[in-house]
Amino acid sequence: GALAPTPETYEQLAGETERLQRLVDDLQELSKLEAGYLPVHKQAVAIAPLVKKVSDRFADQLLGSTALTITLQCPPDLPLADGDPARIEQILVNLLSNALRHTSHGKISVRIYTENDVIWTAVSDTGTGISAEDLPHVFERFWRADRSRDRTSGGSGIGLAICKRLVERQKGQITAQSKLGSGSVFSFSLPIHSTV
């Protein structure tokens, strides 16, 4: 009798249930990663087509939008990366979802480049950005900057922690650069595949 049994109430309950299910799934995945139980199947990966496939999926969501665009910059003849295609896609989906969630207008760009013996993929946006005092905490579980405290955005606060573990399991690095009000750049590296 505390809540009226209306369609709106049921919709809110269903939404909260889905959010809790995502949180539980994310926690299980993070726990498995930290315990070394989540499999990572490394192989030679052509990174450009994989990144293009994921970027195109997000760009399709913006069809007809004049306020926000997604671009991809990729040099020709990239070497193969050493990684797990499914896990790389998972990282990209998380980074692009975050960029989209915090960028209402401007541009999201994905850039692939090589540096020494690694391939970097950088996702940058013109969104709300992260303050200097918050930036060191972005890869901590459950961390959320003040600008994203609204849980209705769908984030659990552990997506970037999962990304960090996934990148590290593939012998890569992940970094974050940002300035409040000026957007963010999240970059991750993967080793170049060696035939030796």
Element (H, E) at 30: helix 7-35
The pLDDT of residue 138 is 87
| pLDDT, block means (10 residues), the chain with 196 residues | 71 66 61 66 93 89 79 92 92 91 89 94 93 87 53 60 89 94 94 85
The pLDDT of residue 33 is 63
**Which 8-state DSSP code applies to residue 1?**
-
With beta carbons less than 8 A apart as the criterion, state whether 108 and 124 touch.
yes
The pLDDT of residue 27 is 62
> Phi and psi at residue 132, in whole multiples of 5°?
-60, -35
The pLDDT of residue 48 is 94
Alpha-carbon gap, residue 46 to 67, rounded angstroms = 31
Alpha-carbon gap, residue 120 to 163, rounded angstroms = 14
